[in-house]
Amino acid sequence: MAILAGRHRLDTDSGRILLTTARDGLAAQAGHDLTIEPTGWSGDLEVGADLAPVSLEVRVDLASLVVREGSGGLKTLTERDKQEIATTARKVLSAQRHPAATFSATGFRPDAGGGGVIDGTVSIGAEVANVFAGVGVNDQDPAISISIGDVQAIG
């Protein structure tokens, strides 16, 4: 996918956002490492004349969270398990009161392979967390894939 200078509108036709979780503590034995995909999102990417990214803002519809995969754990996740986990995630994130999460980039660290890392903040209501997003380009699928990891709460 060639990126040109200017402002670009991004959405589910442009690529995927994959949120990954990892088990920790007591949940490490029974729980699952999850891959969650928001199926509703949009964003704006601004690229400078030097083809370097200048800004990125992404809005994720929290009602659109879908559990795509669960690994580890004591048993394989069923489709019903995945639906229940997504419902619980929406409750924990207070999706009815705060229907969207917003990602705002604070820095870009490109790599030689066409991907890299985007540093930024995620906001849900009044809650803000620092995150980094690994960005990769899949030769089989020209869309951009973004995985969010290492969420650290502020304050």
pLDDT tens profile 10-67: 999 888 888 888 877 776 777 888 999 999 999 999 999 998 889 999 999 999 999 9
Owner of token pair 């619980």: 88
Whole-prediction pTM value?
0.81
Q: Residues in the chain, how many?
A: 155
Element spanning 89, H or E: helix 79-92
Q: CA–CA separation, 147 vs 96, rounded Å? A: 24
Q: CA–CA separation, 31 vs 102, rounded Å? A: 27
Element spanning 88, H or E: helix 79-92
CATH of 6-153 among 2.60.120.330, 2.40.128.110, 3.90.1200.10, 2.40.30.10: 2.40.128.110
Q: CA–CA separation, 46 vs 149, rounded Å? A: 23
Task: Give the pLDDT of residue 155.
Answer: 35
Over residues 94-99, the mean pLDDT reads: 94
pLDDT one-digit tens code per residue, 108-128: 988 887 778 888 999 998 888
Angle at 115 between CA 114 and CA 120, to 5 degrees: 145
Q: Is the pLDDT of residue 153 over 80?
A: no
> Which sequence spans correspond to the domains of the chain?
6-153
